[in-house]
Amino acid sequence: MNDTKLIDTRTRILDVAERLFMDSGYEGTSMRQITGEAGVNLAAANYHFGSKEALLQEVFKRRLEWLNKERLRVLDEMETQAGGQPLKPSQIVDAFFGTLLRMGAHPTQGGETFLRLLGRTHTDPSGLIKTLFAAEYSDVLERYKTALFRALPEVPKAEIVWRLHFMLGATSYAIAGTDALDLVTDWQLTEDDKIHSSERLLPRLMSFLIGGLRAPLPPPPDKS
Amino acid sequence: MNDTKLIDTRTRILDVAERLFMDSGYEGTSMRQITGEAGVNLAAANYHFGSKEALLQEVFKRRLEWLNKERLRVLDEMETQAGGQPLKPSQIVDAFFGTLLRMGAHPTQGGETFLRLLGRTHTDPSGLIKTLFAAEYSDVLERYKTALFRALPEVPKAEIVWRLHFMLGATSYAIAGTDALDLVTDWQLTEDDKIHSSERLLPRLMSFLIGGLRAPLPPPPDKS
DNA sequence: TTAGGATTCAAACAAACGTTTGAATGTTGA
DNA sequence: TCAACATTCAAACGTTTGTTTGAATCCTAA
């Protein structure tokens, strides 16, 4: 087992697969495209990963493990700092979603490509993806849920869960690509707005998320 | 041209395609699955629609035309009622997103199936989908954008556009399937919460969206 | 230097894909 | 009733798909 070339082939396949899955989706990407653009033999992909499905799993796994470890680390650090006191909601939101968005600027962790892949995949109901996400996210969500419950003791837990869900949606959409924004854009934004839009995304999204999280509760259900 | 049977075959294909595209995506669904489950001959799909791509377009077109006409009608009605005064932001949000969600309870317009298909497709960057959406949404978004600008004159237009984008994301995710919520759920919700969750989605989402829309603006960009 | 496992490679596999064909059947208006 | 058109149908088309094979090559440890 060669230490430089083996890792190179594996990594080249993973990197290209990540980008192509982002561009064209899982079913829309063929093994021949992946291995072709990666400059490796077709059979190499099956040799290193076993199957296309297993390759998809690896593409997500190597990033999500890093991300969710980082999310737990940041939350741990905040809670230590707070010394038993509940955190501020804005801290929790930043630890979860801010860490995700800042991953887009982290060159060794896939940069924007993985972020966009993740965003577009979050609404994919395919069994494979759902199973993978459930396994990869469960610990992290449990911790953040608990932190939010403590931070917002006056808000019913069901509402917090729903709002976490909405926050995930707004964020997925935001990172799925500023391309999709071209739908909504067109209209009069200054060049300045466009140039800085990527780096300004985080504060803008954060304001929106916290506004939604702290919004007045909906009227209680009709008892008829 | 037979008036009952032709419409039947066409509609049966459209209905099944809508459901299968929702379940498995465009590339993940084959013409044989569609025509098989619809109980029509394989060649019938190509006969009536020309190609798989054209079939996908039709699936979206018949629903989006209805939805966006309805959205414009509701907004027109509100503006007439207001007699030249700007609308309240919450009215505009409800006219746009409320109309969408209420479509899920409209049996002749695809019900929840189309809603979930739309939710999962919103993050799809494929050229075909983007072109279709751009054409189908442009008029409506233009009108609603203008209404929001008038309703929130003190907010910079760029911020409004971004927040509209975030609102679209939260909504897409919410309608893409309460299945995806199983990710976040698990945790202690009462049975009552679960039973009423579908009909309670709209007020919950609305509170979140308006909270986000009206949140304090993010700090201005660093001038360094 | 050499044996043995790891990796690459060209080639082939069966299966599934979207689409087309031409004949058969159904339907309509004169 | 019959000609003209619309629709259905079974069959086949050529591609492309993911995966497998077995030989060739590379690398490393003894």
Return d(Cα B217, Cα B212) in angstroms, integer: 10
Share of chain A above pLDDT 70, in %: 86
Pure H helices in B83-176: 89-93, 99-103, 111-121, 127-151, 157-175
Q: Is B33 helix (H, G, I), strand (E, B) or coil?
A: helix
Render pLDDT for A135-163 as a digit per residue (tens, 0 to 9): 899 999 999 999 999 999 999 999 999 99
Which among B150, B156, B122 is positioned nearest to A183, based on CA atoms? Answer: B122
Pure H helices in chain A: 5-24, 31-38, 42-49, 52-82, 89-93, 99-103, 111-121, 127-151, 157-175, 178-184, 191-195, 197-213
Rg of chain B in Å (alpha carbons): 20
Return d(Cα A62, Cα A176) in angstroms, integer: 19
Q: Which bases along strand D come within 7 Å of a protein CB atom?
A: 6-12, 16-22, 26-28
Return d(Cα B62, Cα B152) in angstroms, integer: 33
Render pLDDT for A104-116 as a digit per residue (tens, 0 to 9): 888 788 788 999 9
Return d(Cα B63, Cα A128) in angstroms, integer: 29
pLDDT confidence band for B108 (50 / 70 / 90): confident
Q: Determine contact: B223 vs chain A, CB below 8 A.
A: no
Please give the residue that has the higher pLDDT: either B45 or A177. Answer: B45
- Residue numbers of A between 160 and 179 with CB closer than 8 Å to B: 161-174, 176-177, 179
Q: CB–CB of B163 and A190 under 8 A?
A: no
Q: CB–CB of B138 and A186 under 8 A?
A: yes
Return d(Cα B106, Cα B97) in angstroms, integer: 15
Q: How far is the CA of B2 from the C1' of D1 (A)?
A: 21
Q: How far is the CA of A133 from the C1' of D7 (A)?
A: 46
Q: Determine contact: A74 vs chain B, CB below 8 A.
A: no
Distance from CA of A1 to the nearest CA of B (A): 37
- Considering only CB atoms, B173 lies closest to which of A122, A204, A206, namely A122
- Which pLDDT does position A188 carry in this prediction? 53
- Considering only CB atoms, B123 lies closest to which of A119, A182, A189, namely A119
Return d(Cα B185, Cα A73) in angstroms, integer: 23
Q: Which bases along strand C come within 7 Å of a protein CB atom?
A: 6-12, 16-22, 26-28
Q: Which nucleotide is nearest to A49 (CA to C1')?
A: D19
Render pLDDT for A43-101 as a digit per residue (tens, 0 to 9): 999 999 999 999 999 999 999 999 999 999 999 999 999 999 999 999 999 999 999 99
Q: CB–CB of B25 and A124 under 8 A?
A: yes
Render pLDDT for B164-221 as a digit per residue (tens, 0 to 9): 999 999 999 999 865 544 544 555 555 455 545 567 899 999 999 999 999 999 988 7
Q: Determine contact: A216 vs chain B, CB below 8 A.
A: yes
Distance from CA of A4 to the nearest CA of B (A): 35
- Which pLDDT does position B129 carry in this prediction? 87
Q: CB–CB of B184 and A196 under 8 A?
A: no
Delineate the domains of chain A, giving CATH numbers in brackets. 1-50 (1.10.10.60), 60-213 (1.10.357.10)
pLDDT confidence band for A128 (50 / 70 / 90): confident
pLDDT confidence band for B127 (50 / 70 / 90): confident
Return d(Cα A79, Cα B126) in angstroms, integer: 42
User: Token pair of A73, please?
Assistant: 């680390």
Which among A59, A84, A87 is positioned nearest to A75, based on CA atoms? Answer: A87
- Which pLDDT does position A180 carry in this prediction? 46
CB contact at 8 A, B169 and A174: yes
